[in-house]
Amino acid sequence: MILTVTLNPSVDRSYRVDNFQVGKIFRAQEENSVAGGKGINVTKVIKTLGEEVIATGFLGGKAGEFIEEELRKIGVECNFIKIEGETRTCIAILDPVANTQTEILEKGPYVSQDDIEKFLDNFEEISKSCNIIVASGSAPSGVPEEIYVELINIAKRNGAKLILDTSDTYLSNAIKAKPFMIKPNKAELEKLINKELKDIEEIKKTAIELHQSGIPIVSVSLGDEGSIISCDEGVFIAIPPQINVVSPVGSGDSYVAGMAVGIKRGLSIVDAAILATACGTANAMHYKTGYVTREEVEYLKAKVKVQKL
């Protein structure tokens, strides 16, 4: 069983408004709400690939109920801690005429110390039966920025591999605890080491250094250029096929889902990276975030190229 952790999920609500402008009143031509947040995207892709998945994190209010319902509909087991506050809603206004996307992101609810303790106790229990864990994104207020350090330590104690996809202080704190895998994109990696990375050579060197510091898999994702993976087997680049890009938002989340499934199935890291790349690429072919089909993933897998660096 794979466990996903989404500390700050959201209801992602989008409105289609042709010729949108600030300061005016518009009627939406279309509106849509989906369960969102990076870990929720990962969850959906894992489920699409055919693996059983439990989702945990914090949920509250009507928005929280909506997310749980959406996940249950697709057969995801939900094991969230219910909080007092309301789970956030993030709004996107899409204007297909001007080709713009305007977003308003809520900060999220406050999580009490009591609820954090409940979450950690619950995580300790579930991590005993889940050997692969994926934790993604930031955390709502009240949750300490060292939260992932605790999750990594608990996972290790229970023999589970934790894949971490986060950024900023959450990431810089967490790498000290040596998660099983990290997947920063280039911007996140530059922020982590506080240095601009000019070319593939510099990215490779940084990935190797992080791997040698004790992180078994370091994958740096580079959008349509693919990803550089440093692991015990060596350093590789996984190059995706060229596609008609619709929206690459959530491709990193889909990539992480593919890695988790690959590792769960006992694939080699190179084969897991091929599956991950196919998932990231498939996601970029759709407007929806964290959406791939099994057929596309199968088809794309055969077109991914891996080279030793």
Residues labelled catalytic: 253
The reply on whether position 226 binds ligand ATP by CB under 6 A is yes
The reply on whether position 251 binds ligand ATP by CB under 6 A is yes
Selection from Mg ion, ligand ATP, none that 281 binds (CB < 5 to 8 A by kind) is: ligand ATP
The reply on whether position 28 binds ligand ATP by CB under 6 A is no
List, in sequence order, the alpha helices (H) in the chain.
38-48, 61-73, 113-126, 147-157, 168-174, 186-193, 200-212, 251-264, 269-284, 294-301
Q: How far is the CB of 42 from Mg ion (least distance, A)?
A: 10
The reply on whether position 277 binds ligand ATP by CB under 6 A is yes
Choice between 64 and 183, CB closer to Mg ion: 183
* 42: number of Cβ within 10 Å: 34
Q: Distance (Å, rounded) from C-alpha 93 to C-alpha 103?
A: 6
Report the relative pairing of strands 88-95 and 100-105 from DSSP bridges: antiparallel
Choice between 36 and 140, CB closer to ligand ATP: 36
Q: How far is the CB of 257 from ligand ATP (least distance, A)?
A: 10
Question: How distant, in Å, are the alpha carbons of 10, 55, 256 from that of 39?
Answer: 10, 8, 10
Which range touches Mg ion (CB under 5 A), out of 6-14, 150-158, 244-252, 283-291?
244-252
The reply on whether position 137 binds Mg ion by CB under 5 A is no
Whether 149 and 174 have beta carbons less than 8 Å apart is answered as yes
Q: Distance (Å, rounded) from C-alpha 294 to C-alpha 146?
A: 36
Of the residues 140, 252, 262, 280, which one makes contact with Mg ion according to CB under 5 A: 252
Q: Distance (Å, rounded) from C-alpha 267 to C-alpha 229?
A: 15
Of the residues 39, 240, 258, 262, which one makes contact with ligand ATP according to CB under 6 A: 240
Q: How far is the CB of 23 from ligand ATP (least distance, A)?
A: 30
Q: How far is the CB of 185 from Mg ion (least distance, A)?
A: 5
Q: Does residue 240 sit in helix, strand or coil?
A: coil
Q: Distance (Å, rounded) from C-alpha 154 to C-alpha 152?
A: 6
The reply on whether position 91 binds ligand ATP by CB under 6 A is no
Choice between 160 and 285, CB closer to ligand ATP: 285
The reply on whether position 253 binds ligand ATP by CB under 6 A is yes
Which range touches ligand ATP (CB under 6 A), out of 106-114, 137-145, 174-182, 237-245?
237-245
The reply on whether position 43 binds ligand ATP by CB under 6 A is no
Of the residues 280, 291, 292, 296, which one makes contact with ligand ATP according to CB under 6 A: 280
**Half-sphere exposure of residue 102: CA atoms within 13 angstroms, side-chain side:** 12
Q: Distance (Å, rounded) from C-alpha 293 to C-alpha 13?
A: 22
| Sequential DSSP letters for 56-110 | EEEEEHHHHHHHHHHHHHTTPEE-PEEESSPPEEEEEEEETTTTEEEEEE----B
Q: How far is the CB of 19 from ligand ATP (least distance, A)?
A: 27
Selection from Mg ion, ligand ATP, none that 245 binds (CB < 5 to 8 A by kind) is: ligand ATP
Binding site for Mg ion (CB under 5 A): 252
Binding site for ligand ATP (CB under 6 A): 185, 221-224, 226-227, 240, 243, 245, 248-253, 255, 277, 280-281, 284
